[in-house]
Amino acid sequence: MTDDKYRGTVEDLVYLLSCTVNGAPVDGVRAGTMDLSALYEIADRHLLTGITAMALESAGIRDEAFTQAKGKAIRKVAAMDMDRAVFLDRLEQAGIWYMPLKGAVLKDLYPRLGMRQMSDNDILIDASRLNDAGAIMESMGFACDHKTSAHLVYNRPPVSSFELHRRLFVEMEDRRLCGYYSNVKERLLPMEGKRFGYRFSDEDFYVYMVAHEYKHYIAGGTGLRSLLDTYVFCRKKAEGLDWAYIGRETDRLGITEFERRNRSLASHLFGGGSLSDEERDQLDYILGSGTYGTIQNKVDNKIRTFGGGRKGKFRYVLSRIFLPMDAVRSTFPLFAKVPVLLPFLPFYRLFLGLKDRRKRLMGEWKTLKNR
């Protein structure tokens, strides 16, 4: 796809998204001239095929790839909604406190089911009862197939997936964010009608949403869907938010400037208005990142934080070989309990990487070698 073709298709995608979330009609003549194959390619990269399909259908345009994507998005959200309801009820019965996160909350702010596609159910769980929550997952037919220092991933074919979070951030991602959210339960409000369910206030949810996006933005990058989330949330909630409180909290986290730029870009992109040069540069980075960022961005950004050049590259390699003890205790508890095994941990992690994440590991190595 040429640069001109790519930019034109991005403009088409943004137009369709803007019409849909703002309740405006889609111009059928304009939609009829769009290259649907190119549009699908970019929408799919940013996990926006469902909402794009609905926008096209509102103008009388149907495409097989988009129709299938929309059906899949609706089925997946509906299935995960049902599984989440069952799981949260089981947590209530077991007396385990919890809080749904991210997409599980944001999806309800969009006009229709399936517009906000979800990869998984993210739920913060009482860390002291994580094993009990995992046992509930297994009793529901889910299997744990991945662990990190922050969460456990449970999957059940064909579409349902959960991430059970013991914490919202870890020190190796961002020390300031990790410290701010270390006692997160103190910030939570009870969910109506629940004994053990909790939620953020709208202000704290927004601060967390920005902090989470910032974490991804400075790592591997973040995609257009996150920017749309910001616009949809602010469009629904902005007038009732305590912006003075939000400003104080983002100041504490060091993300006030990021929040300002991100909200401004979302507002101008989906709400109308011209983009500044700074916003265009930010948008280019977001468009190149895809939904979950890229390995290239992650490596480059990390090397930059380590001072750049050969020194930054060397420090990056060391950080990948030797994990902080906090991460070791959470993800590889046996090695933490038996310190004599620690020298063998890098080899064990390499084995797991080659076994389960070979493509990602090879991509990281290729990027690093070319720097």
Instruction: Provide the pLDDT for residue 247.
Output: 97
Instruction: Provide the pLDDT for residue 349.
Output: 76
In this prediction the pTM is 0.82
76 within 8 A of 159, measured Cβ to Cβ:
yes
- The one-letter amino acid at 22: N
Which 3 state secondary structure label does DSSP give 138?
A: helix
216-264 confidence digits (pLDDT tens): 888 767 889 999 999 999 999 989 999 999 999 999 999 999 999 999 9
β-pairing, 160-165 with 121-125? parallel
pLDDT > 70: what percent of the chain? 87
Burial of 128 from C-beta contacts in 10 A (0-12 / 13-18 / 19+): exposed
Tell me the DSSP string of 192-228. Answer: TT-SSBEE--HHHHHHHHHHHHHHHHHTT---HHHHH
264 within 8 A of 279, measured Cβ to Cβ:
yes
* Alpha-carbon span 144 to 131, nearest angstrom: 11
* Alpha-carbon span 297 to 367, nearest angstrom: 9
SS3 content of the chain, % helix, strand, coil (to 5): 65, 10, 25
Question: What is the residue extent of each domain of the chain?
Answer: 1-62, 77-199, 201-293, 295-371
Structure tokens given for 212: 């989470």
**Looking at residue 254, what DSSP letter applies?**
T
**Does the CA dihedral 250-252-257-262 come out positive or negative?**
negative
Which 3 state secondary structure label does DSSP give 161?
A: strand
**CA distances in angstroms from 60 to 27, 52, 159, listed in the order given:** 10, 13, 29
* Alpha-carbon span 190 to 188, nearest angstrom: 7
**Which neighbouring-strand residues pair with 154?**
144, 162
Which 3 state secondary structure label does DSSP give 80?
A: helix
**CA distances in angstroms from 292 to 52, 87, 213, 297, 338, listed in the order given:** 19, 26, 10, 11, 35
| No. of helices (H) and no. of strands (E), the chain | 19, 7
* Alpha-carbon span 23 to 19, nearest angstrom: 6
**CA distances in angstroms from 52 to 6, 55, 232, 266, 353, listed in the order given:** 16, 5, 15, 17, 35
Report whether pLDDT(309) > 60. yes
344-358 confidence digits (pLDDT tens): 787 777 777 666 666
Structure tokens given for 78: 């509906």
Residue with tokens 């991933």: 153
How much is the average pLDDT of 324-333?
72
Range from 258-262, 270-274, 317-321 carrying the lowest mean pLDDT:
317-321
**Looking at residue 150, what DSSP letter applies?**
S
CATH assignment of 77-199? Answer: 3.30.460.40
* Alpha-carbon span 199 to 212, nearest angstrom: 16
How much is the average pLDDT of 44-54?
96
CA nearest neighbour of 229 among 45, 106, 53, 46 = 106
Instruction: Provide the pLDDT for residue 347.
Output: 78
- Confidence label for 305 from pLDDT (cuts 50, 70 and 90): low
Question: What element of type H or E holds 247?
Answer: helix 243-253
144 within 8 A of 137, measured Cβ to Cβ:
yes
